[in-house]
Amino acid sequence: MSLLVKNVRLVDPAQKLDGPGALLVVDGKVLVIGAEAAAHPQAAGAEVVDGGGAVLAPGFVDLHVHFREPGQTRKESIESGSRAAVAGGFTSVCAMANTKPVNDSVAITEMMLTRAAKADLCRYFPIGTVSREMKGEELADMGTLKAAGCVAFSDDGLPITNSSLMRRALEYTRWLEVPVVAHEEDRDLAGKGYMHEGAVSASLGCLGIPAAAEEAMVARDIVLAEHTGGHLHLAHLSTKGSLRMVREAKARGLAVTCEVTPHHFALSDRELMKFDSDYKMNPPLRTEADIQAVLEALADGTVDAIATDHAPHGWDDKEVELPIAAFGVIGLETALPLTLELLVNRRVISLAKAISLLAWEPAKVFHLDRQGLGSLKPGAPADFVLFDPNANVQVDRAFIQSKSYNTPFKGWSLPGQVLGTWVGGKQVWG
């Protein structure tokens, strides 16, 4: 079975490709990409899709999603989360382990993979827990979990406060050649805070979470990464100080990578003046100075990936007083539009760099590039997205495919309509 997608702007940072051309897919894999694809003998008789000049890019890879299955499928299921992913152009997702029960066993990992295969939408990669039951006391059976399909390990949602345990995790995962993904938060410093600690929280009389709560843990874990040689991946960084430390760690050649989210380069803590819980997330929205630091880190290569931290919640989790509302926002459908509007259109980074941060770079962080993901090199799986960077989308309930609707971007009009998403040469959206 063959597919020819023609009349498109091909953008594949892994191949330094940005220009007009076509893509020829045979048996679910890329056969030819570029100007010569349409003239290839195997293009004769292929199904033809005319891209109408839209951008064709490798399918995006999200290193950080919460699909809530098992245990909280009223918020999201693997199927509904996968639908949200492909609607946003994501062909691969890495799902955090803080389900109910948590993913610390082969049985849970296999169940997740079975449900994802049944959904048959995007590629689904489970993340296993660092510690048994996410109690932070003893290591999970990482070797067995990796063999079952886990691509990284994290107690995300709960910081690993036990320094000895974090050290052992980095040592063990170095041998396994997978990263430890760290949710960096000193809970003693964070206390009962529910927004950024600063001038805004003081003016509102709200309990704050200081930047130091994140930065103190980042500092500790960079020290441990240097000591062990393990791969430390820092999730959803939000402060100027954290990004400075990552920049310095990389300059010293340490195996330290990091991600940022669109909401942390789109919104500041001033949004909490609305007392709207859709602006409540962890880490919290920070200051304008922190936003500027995130933008600079995206531009200079400090940041390895744009991830969504897609965290669905029901209306009853959010439509309560701000102090008791759940942390977290959804983000799969809005990641590309926000990246285009706030990064590309404002010339913070190029379109090619944006696609690299959404596809090629995250694939490398979790070693998914070894499976050919994140690029459209000949022989790679034909995972790609076709989008119009100039066509606007309206963020409303019809646009959001997630079961949940806890987005801070309700009502926004943004560029970047996903026209179609393909996984293994099969169209799964559009």
Catalytic positions, written as ranges: 309
CB burial string 273-312: b at 16+ within 10 A, e below: eeeebbbbbbbbbbbeebbebbbbbbeeebbbbbbbbbbb
The continuous run of DSSP H or E covering 5 comes out as strand 2-12
Angle at 193 between CA 190 and CA 199, to 5 degrees: 100
Q: How far apart are CA 190 and CA 282, in angstroms?
A: 10
Q: Which of 275, 283, 282 has the alpha carbon at shortest distance from 323?
A: 275
The continuous run of DSSP H or E covering 417 comes out as strand 413-423
End-to-end C-alpha distance for the chain, whole angstroms: 20
DSSP letter, residue 327: P
Q: Who's near 93: CB < 8 A, 6+ residues apart?
A: 61, 62, 65, 67, 81, 82, 85, 122, 123, 124, 125, 332
Q: How far apart are CA 54 and CA 341, in angstroms?
A: 17
- Token reading at 204: 């509102």
Would you tell me how many other CB atoms lie within 10 Å of the CB of residue 125? 24
Q: Who's near 207: CB < 8 A, 6+ residues apart?
A: 191, 192, 193, 194, 195, 201, 323
Q: What is the 3-state secondary structure (H, E, C) of 336-382?
A: HHHHHHHHHCCCCCCHHHHHHHHHHHHHHHCCHHHHCCCCCCCCCEC
Q: Using CB atoms within 10 A of its CB, is residue 316 exposed (0-12), middle (13-18) or buried (19+)?
A: exposed
Q: What is the 3-state secondary structure (H, E, C) of 263-281?
A: HHHHCCHHHHHHCCHHHCC
Q: Which of 241, 407, 261 has the alpha carbon at shortest distance from 343?
A: 261
Q: How far apart are CA 84 and CA 88, in angstroms?
A: 6
Q: How far apart are CA 78 and CA 169, in angstroms?
A: 27
347 sits in the region (left: phi over 0; alpha: psi -120 to 50; else beta) called: left
